[in-house]
Chains A and B, each alone.
Chain A
Amino acid sequence: MDDDPLITADGPITAPRAGDVVKRHRLSTRLWHWINVVAVVILLMSGLSIFNAHPRLYWGEYGANADAPWLQIGGEGDRGFLQIGDARIATTGALGRWTDENGRTSTRAFPSWATIPGYYSLALGRLWHFFFAWVLVIGGLAYWLTSFLNRHVQRDLAPSRAELAPRHLWHEIKQHARLRFPGGAAALRYNILQKLSYLLVLFVLLPLIVLTGLTMSPNMDAAWPWLLDMFGGRQSARSIHFIAAWLLVGFVIVHVVMVALAGPVNELRSMITGRFRLPGEREEAPAQ
């Protein structure tokens, strides 16, 4: 039972207290986490490379230059723009028209610092993207399987009825907004907002991004035609893939901010060595 996060490696079972160093994350969890860090960063940046080949998004089955995009990143003369529906936002210098670190100006959607490779190559972007797509998918399937088998999902991630009560949810939101995080043994358990966001990423966002990616494959559309019906066509799938990628970026930003606020050294150590020092109970902030 050394994989139970609530039990220290040795000694009798006693409730850990603030200041104790306890085992937090299993080796498999830690490996999966850091493999995903690499894979997600490369997938995002190579994905932006692929997007640059046709920086327009459509809804439905078809969509090409003569059809109206719902989103477009482009350059006109020496100006760059992002157009969503009828709204056009000037993005000169950032998107559509920008200057790279060597002083060369390009008219492409995403700038070279955001893409892999940093120069325009659709073929190489695809090589990076599909290799790391396999890394993400194989790792993700293995995580799904083991996390159900070792009951990580059922025990640590599944919310209880009490946690889902609106009053409790509201309380947690308020506590988070005030940056009051649980201390002591309570810090070992995921709170309801963590649970919901992890469940959303694991079982909605990641499957969505993989399935919409597959829907862009003409062969997969032959093998699994339900993909097209599920997402409303190849171009819709491409749009949803793009949106899901940015939702994942949003999750990563919030995740990293939370780690920074909760004590970055302790949190990072727990994801590298697996050991976590239980934080003390926070003092109540003075009344506003």
Chain B
Amino acid sequence: MSIALSRRRLIGTLGAGLLVSGCDSWSRSGRVQALLGSAEDLTMGTQRLITGEATLGREFGPAEMSPVFRMNGNRTADTPEYRRMLANGFADFRLVVDGLVRRPLAIPLDRLRELPSRSQITRHDCVEGWSAIGQWRGTSLALLLDAAGVLDQARYIVFHCADSFGSTPYYESVDMVDARHPQTILAWEMNGRPLPEGHGAPLRARIERQLGYKHAKFVMRVEAVASLDRIYGGRGGYWEDVGVYAWYAGI
């Protein structure tokens, strides 16, 4: 019995050691990452199958809001251009809507605030595991896409942002299902006040059925594209390009 037990322990130790070192070298292999990443398609396909296109994420009451809404990602966009816009209250900021559209737009922030808006108290889920509940008000992205006349061949909406990590600009993208979702807004108000710098002023995308890194901050430009291949690293977002984060962040 003791021989069997010690043999078991030996096998167990060897097995665990092999597993760990195996998983590490496999983790670095592009082929293994692609294989493991194939589950993302299965996850997205399954989730889309059981979720109505317009099904809303849960909305909460004011009493359920987080006392402190944690800031994450870049707290500012550290460029002279952004500092100047911030200093004059984004008076000369123009949100650009272009790409595969009939009528490219350049909309001042004041004009955006005058358009019909939507307010929602939702839970923000970070990929790290924490959550915070806050209130957001902003302009429906679908409204802007319709105003610009998105062409049929457009399949994705890309958010170009003013912030960057080092010299790599932040960006994100969603497909048309999430772009046209009723809760997808470009928020200019948070918790009843103008969107603060740390949370992405002047505009932050709210993609309520996906994780926080999809909610691009400091949005300057919205571009309709047919493919993500030629946008920056080609994987559809900053974290998708530099890490191996999933483009579909519904889980």
Contact = CB atoms under 8 A, between A and B. Distances in A.
A41 interface: yes
B116 interface: no
Contacts of A264: 1, 4-5, 8
B95 interface: no
A135 to B, nearest CB: 9
B153 interface: no
Contacts of B23: 42, 45, 116-118, 128
B251 interface: yes
B128 interface: yes
A118 B19 CA distance: 10
B87 interface: no
B246 A126 contact: yes
Contacts of A130: 36, 39-40, 43, 246, 251
B86 interface: no
Contact of B68 (A64, A216, A238, A265): A64
B208 A222 contact: yes
Interface string B15-34: 01001110110010000010
Given A42-B23, A123-B243, A62 B4 contact: no
Interface stretch (A10-18, A48-56, A182-190): A48-56
Contacts of A223: 47, 50-52, 55
15 contacts: A62-B132, A64-B132, A67-B66, A67-B68, A121-B27, A126-B127, A127-B37, A127-B246, A128-B23, A131-B39, A134-B42, A217-B47, A218-B123, A219-B250, A222-B208
Given A61-B64, A127-B33, A216-B251, A222 B128 contact: no
Nearest to B134: A62
Contacts of A131: 35-36, 38-39
B12 to A, nearest CB: 9
B231 interface: no
Contacts of A72: none
A212 interface: no
A53 B245 CA distance: 14
A145 B129 CA distance: 33
Contacts of B211: 218
Contact of A222 (B19, B42, B55, B127): B55
B210 A218 contact: yes
B20 A113 contact: yes
Contacts of B126: 54, 64
B4 A218 contact: no
Given A130-B43, A134-B39, A264-B8, A50 B27 contact: no
B222 to A, nearest CB: 22
A43 interface: no
B208 A218 contact: yes
Contacts of B245: 123, 126
Interface in A232-275: 234-235, 238, 260, 264-265
A51 B55 contact: no
Interface of B: 1, 4-5, 8, 16, 19-21, 23-24, 27, 33, 35-40, 42-43, 47, 50-52, 55-58, 60, 64, 66-70, 123, 125-133, 208-211, 239, 243-246, 250-251
B130 A219 contact: no
A64 B53 CA distance: 30
Contact of A221 (B35, B58, B128): B58
A7 B154 CA distance: 64
B210 A219 contact: yes
Contacts of B38: 131
Given A222-B55, A222-B209, A127 B36 contact: yes
Contact of A234 (B24, B39, B56, B123): B123
B27 A260 contact: no
Contact of B125 (A113, A214, A234): A234
Contacts of A124: 27, 33, 244
A216 to B, nearest CB: 7
A56 B55 CA distance: 30
Contact of B131 (A63, A66, A116): A63
A11 B81 CA distance: 88
Contacts of B4: 260, 264-265
B129 A53 contact: yes
Interface in A65-100: 65-67
A118 B24 contact: yes
Given A123-B245, A127-B33, A66 B55 contact: no
A235 B133 CA distance: 12
B57 A221 contact: yes
A63 B40 contact: no
Contact of A128 (B27, B42, B43, B57): B27
Contact of A66 (B58, B64, B68, B123): B68
Contacts of A41: 19
A220 B66 contact: no
